[in-house]
Chain A
Amino acid sequence: MNHLSEEELVNHVYGDGADAIGTHIDECAPCAQAYAELQRDVAELRCIEPPEPGEGYEAHVWNAIRYGLPAYRPRRPWFSTSGSAALWPLSWFAQPVVRRVSYAALCAALTAGAFYAGRHWDRPGARTETANTKLATPQPRQPIVVVVLGDHLDRSERLLVELKHADVESADSIAAPLRDEARSLLAANSVCRKNAEQEGSDPALKSALDHLDHLLNEMANQPGGLNADSIAKLRQEMESDGLLFEVRVLRSRVRNGHTLIGNRSTGGTV
């Protein structure tokens, strides 16, 4: 049997030893003797009794430190007015754990807010698409569409007028501007035609846009570029189709708001 060490005995004297140590002491004479001697010695270790500090000691301590202590700056919570109750939230938020939790909650709220805003930031496109396919009443978007379509028809009319009055003898100087304008209008006209077909718009509009598309395509993609002969040919084609007249009529109807072509889809994505 191993005897107990002095450290185990000391721990037992102060009540920090295991129960097995007490059992061992009861059964082992040498350890019991060592324990008894230790108990005697520990009992003789006196508690140091400090001298009485005397009356007024508390005041002495306070007076010694009070002038070196800066006063805490009173901070009142924004949601309270006055009184001791108003100080409670302040001290509550002054706690380190509460402060950390508050910061974490604030960061989480900001992150969630940014995520939510980000999701809705992309919504305008989605809403337009939804409106294009589902809304039955086009009134809210109609003014915008009319302006866009009217603008397209205005530009087309000006191009056709220029073509009609073009001086074929100076074709070289006007060929490039006409071609560039035709290319620009061709892209817009293509979108308008596509939307007009999807929406089932006014047949006159679809017909005019088809004719316009054909003419613009020839102007924009004439092999070798525009020249006097090609301009004359295009002018003849335009007049035979009555395209300028058609465009003027449509533009007038759009401007006066008397047409089905004011449908939001027609030119809505132009």
Chain B
Amino acid sequence: MGGNDQETIRAVLSGDKEAYGSLVAAHSRLLYRVAYRITGNEADADEVVQDAFVRAYRKLETFESRANFGTWIYRIAVRCALDKVAGRKGEDASRVAEAADPEQDEVQLADASAGPDRLLLSGEIAALQQSAMHCLTPTERTAFVMRHMEDRSTDEIGEALGIKPNAVKQAVFRAVHKLRRRLAPLRVQA
């Protein structure tokens, strides 16, 4: 894949624009997945993927041949998604305020046993988590997604976000702390 990517990039830089389509085909699904996880909806994820490929195309001359195109475009997509989330921060703030209604947190189910109740709890947790994700800052949300869901290392996250590893750890910690606090009302001691 990597070797083919290098040949394709050379072809694109020599004027064969259509060759870029094969790079899009090879990496668009992976980018869509991370973009969706960070943005939280299909429309924004789709927009992020397109934006990432356009940005990468324009910077293709600066791409170092010894690097991996997949890693490079992944970082670009993360940055695009971060920008997208940061851009709608005001919109999310109002959504979080609605979700913070105490009455919504009154769903309390036991968490000690499996079975139908447990499955219902899982659905509730997923729904509330989805909502709680909006209370995270863009950096916390992106760092958490990459660490918890994409299983990326601290260094990889730092490179993608342009921050130091310690800042990544703090961002992940703050995200986990906020999410635990938001999900705590769902639990009662068995």
Contact = CB atoms under 8 A, between A and B. Distances in A.
Interface in B28-46: 28-29, 32-33, 36-37, 40, 42, 45-46
A92 B46 CA distance: 33
A96 B63 CA distance: 9
Contact of A47 (B16, B28, B148): B148
Given A44-B125, A90-B13, A65 B50 contact: yes
B72 interface: no
A222 B36 CA distance: 109
B15 A71 contact: yes
Given A11-B173, A69-B57, A50 B148 contact: no
A61 B129 contact: no
A248 B16 CA distance: 86
B4 to A, nearest CB: 13
A42 B148 contact: yes
B172 interface: yes
Contact of B15 (A64, A73, A95): A73
Interface residues of A, number: 43
Interface of A: 6-7, 10-11, 14, 16, 38, 41-42, 44-48, 50-51, 53, 57-59, 61-62, 64-66, 68-75, 84, 87-88, 90-92, 94-97
Interface of B: 7, 9-18, 20-21, 24-25, 28-29, 32-33, 36-37, 40, 42, 45-46, 49-50, 53-54, 57, 60-62, 64-65, 111, 122, 125-126, 129-130, 133, 145, 147-149, 154, 169-170, 172-173, 176-177, 179-180, 183
Per CB-CB distance, the 10 closest pairs between chain A and chain B, nearest first, are A50-B36, A74-B15, A58-B25, A71-B17, A47-B149, A7-B173, A62-B24, A10-B173, A62-B21, A87-B14
17 contacts: A7-B169, A10-B177, A45-B179, A48-B36, A48-B40, A48-B149, A50-B45, A57-B32, A62-B25, A64-B50, A65-B53, A66-B17, A71-B17, A72-B17, A84-B10, A91-B13, A97-B64
